[in-house]
Amino acid sequence: MTLQPFSARRLLILALVLVVCAVSAVAAGFSYRAGLVESGELFDAKLAHSARVLAALVDQPLADAPVAAGEPLVVAVWQGGPREGVGEALVSVEGHAYETKLAFEVLDAEGRVVLRSDSGPPGRLAALAPGFADVAIDGEAWRVFTLRTPRGLWVQAGERGDIRAEMAGEIALGTMAPMLLALPVLALLVWAVVAWASRALARLSGQLERRAADALAPLPPDDVPEELRGLVLALNGLLGRLGEALERERRFTADAAHELRTPLAALRVHASNLREARDDAERAASQASLDAGLRRMERLVTQLLELARQEPGAQPAARAPVALGACVRAAVADIALAGLDRGIDLEVDAPDDLVVAGDDVALGVLVRNLVDNALRYTPPGGRVRVSLAGEGVVVRLRVEDSGPGIPPEERAAALARFHRGLGHAATGSGLGLSIVQRIVERHGGGLVLDEAPGLGGLRVDVRLPAQRAG
């Protein structure tokens, strides 16, 4: 396994093989040890028992019938069986292949062998001391039990150690085998499960890959594994938000394109009229209209940009303390000249101590749009009043004019993008109040349109959350 792309499947299979092998090895080790101990106990008991039976059988006869020195009786064991093999293969009617691995000897009090099996060595098996002993004979490990009969004979029963190791090995193998056999099956299973899970992932990425850039329909959350559902739901959430943003953008662009067509058409017609003008008076009239159209275009583009910046989700409003009084005076100073030229009485009452939390640039745009609207719709010689007042936790900005106002049934629509009131000289873009409303929303404030009681025109109240001074 390299450090190339991380593969859960390879990692899983590798981990599985390692764990199963380790567990098998440990289990086999334990089994081997337990096998050795258990078989040791069993074989030791049999060894002692064999020696005891032999002693009981040969003690009297051998004591009564003295044997010629150096000529012990030798019992031949069956040597025809195979050296290796298991179970029935080692067995025949004549004996057992493992008989050669067992031996016994009987010695007299002087240590001379009087009886022995031919599977053992010619001399004694072990030192003549009662009890168990582990000895090496011809390079083989033997376990020997030595017994002294009442008549002074020594009986020794021995057994080659490899029988015990072989048995313990068999037991250990028996423990390990099922695990090792199960290993490929488990690996296959893991491979298949991971493949199934990755197919769901592959299907998911396939679905996403084939999508057009603007296909933002949610992914079906039902045909993926439980573990992927969270991912799918999160993706769907993201797709949804993207879709909304895209739709907002699309609507805005469509509206903007639509709204740019009429002023453009006007420019084009006036340009054509200017070209076709037959005298200076006509030329001057067309030129004036063309200039007016260009000014309107300029304002429309500016306002579109302002509106785009204030669109929901564009960016969060900055939250810095803004002294609204200074902001209002600066904004009014920017545009007051247009009103003064038309003889409009513009009155500003903006105390300095009112502070709101917000974006000073956006708030300047807000004030400018409101005052610009008021000046635009107020007839020459009319009045516009801008005032600022603290109302507890909010600051209220009020702009009133003596223009035609907006009838109550049209006030909701007046906030919509590109709405223009009926019967005015349609120089407005229909964006001013939309921009104001977006800015108010982003500042967590409120906007109310009403009739101006004193002046008779429109009264706009904007309430913004106040920031405590200091």
Partner 1 sequence: MRILLVEDDALLGEGIQTALKRAALTVDWLRDGASALAAIRDGGFDVVVLDLGLPRLDGMQVIRGARAARASTPILVLTARDRVADRVEALDLGADDFLGKPFDTGELLARIRALHRRGQGQAQACLAHGPLELDPAALEVRWRGRGVDLPRREFALLRALLDHAGRVASREALQQTLYGWDEDVASNALEVHVHHLRRKLDPGLIRTVRGVGYALAPVAELQAAPAPDPTHDPATDPAP
Q: Assign residue 89 a region: left if phi > 0, alpha if psi is -120 to 50, beta otherwise?
A: alpha
Question: Is 71:111 a contact under the CB 8 Å cutoff?
Answer: no
Of 300 and 466, which CB lies nearer to partner 1 in the complex structure? 300
10 Å CB burial of residue 374 (0-12, 13-18, 19+) is buried
Of 41 and 282, which CB lies nearer to partner 1 in the complex structure? 282
| Smallest separation, CB 282 to partner 1 (Å) | 8
Out of 215, 246, 320, 426, the only residue in the binding site for partner 1 (CB under 8 A) is 426
Backbone phi, psi, residue 389, to 5°? -150, 145
The answer to the question of residue 99 lying near partner 1 (CB under 8 A) is: no
Question: Is 81:97 a contact under the CB 8 Å cutoff?
Answer: yes
| Smallest separation, CB 273 to partner 1 (Å) | 5
| Smallest separation, CB 429 to partner 1 (Å) | 11
Of 103 and 304, which CB lies nearer to partner 1 in the complex structure? 304
| Smallest separation, CB 338 to partner 1 (Å) | 18
| Two structure tokens written together for 218 | 């949610």
| Smallest separation, CB 452 to partner 1 (Å) | 23
Out of 286, 378, 437, 467, the only residue in the binding site for partner 1 (CB under 8 A) is 286
Out of 273, 309, 390, 461, the only residue in the binding site for partner 1 (CB under 8 A) is 273
10 Å CB burial of residue 186 (0-12, 13-18, 19+) is middle
The answer to the question of residue 251 lying near partner 1 (CB under 8 A) is: no
The answer to the question of residue 293 lying near partner 1 (CB under 8 A) is: yes
Separation CA 126–CA 57 (nearest Å): 21
- In sequence order, the 6+-apart residues with CB closer than 8 A to the CB of 179 are 20, 23, 24, 27
The answer to the question of residue 287 lying near partner 1 (CB under 8 A) is: no
Out of 135, 285, 335, 394, the only residue in the binding site for partner 1 (CB under 8 A) is 285
Of 161 and 432, which CB lies nearer to partner 1 in the complex structure? 432
The answer to the question of residue 269 lying near partner 1 (CB under 8 A) is: yes
Backbone phi, psi, residue 26, to 5°? -65, -45
| Two structure tokens written together for 455 | 């002046």
Binding mask 202-241 for partner 1 (x = CB under 8 A): ----------------------------------------
Out of 34, 133, 245, 266, the only residue in the binding site for partner 1 (CB under 8 A) is 266
Q: Which positions touch partner 1 (CB under 8 A)? A: 257-259, 261-270, 272-273, 276, 278, 282, 285-286, 289, 292-293, 296, 420, 422-423, 425-427
